[in-house]
Amino acid sequence: DQQVKQNSPSLSVQEGRISILNCDYTNSMFDYFLWYKKYPAEGPTFLISISSIKDKNEDGRFTVFLNKSAKHLSLHIVPSQPGDSAVYFCAASVLTGNQFYFGTGTSLTVIP
């Protein structure tokens, strides 16, 4: 049962434009959400997180938006750079729980 879903396996964006990566979840108990970035043959790297008491969190070029009623979150990268090309994983957890639930990832390609 995939509780966190990333329905777009891949995304291509021109350098300088905005990249929008989407994530949906089914468990209404989730109250902490994270985005990780992963390069081939490396471990995931934490990017940004948001708790359910917020609807937006911004860190430099990265902004995460949370829509609790729609059980949807998105990661915006602007402006996109070629070095952003990687697989992005969305993850969710219950703060009192024991694990992070990951989506299947979206492969972002930023075209120079």
d(CA 36, CA 81): 17
CB 90, CB 37: distance < 8 Å: no
Nearer CB in complex with other proteins: 46/82: 46
Nearer CB in complex with other proteins: 15/74: 74
Chain-centroid distance of CA 13 in Å reads: 16
Nearer CB in complex with other proteins: 25/101: 101
Nearer CB in complex with other proteins: 13/91: 91
From the CB of residue 75, how many other CB atoms can be counted at a distance below 10 Å?
A: 23
The residue type found at 38 is K
Nearest Cα to Cα of residue 6 among 111, 83, 107: 107
In the β-sheet with 72-77, what is the strand arrangement from edge to edge?
4-5, 19-25, 72-77, 62-67, 56-59
Site string for other proteins, 29-68 (x = CB under 8 A): ---x-x-x----xxxxxx--x-------------------
Site string for other proteins, 67-106 (x = CB under 8 A): ----------------------x-x---xxxxxxxxxxx-
Closest approach, Cβ 67 to other proteins, in A, equals 21
Footprint on this chain of other proteins (rule: CB under 8 A):
6, 32, 34, 36, 41-46, 49, 89, 91, 95-105
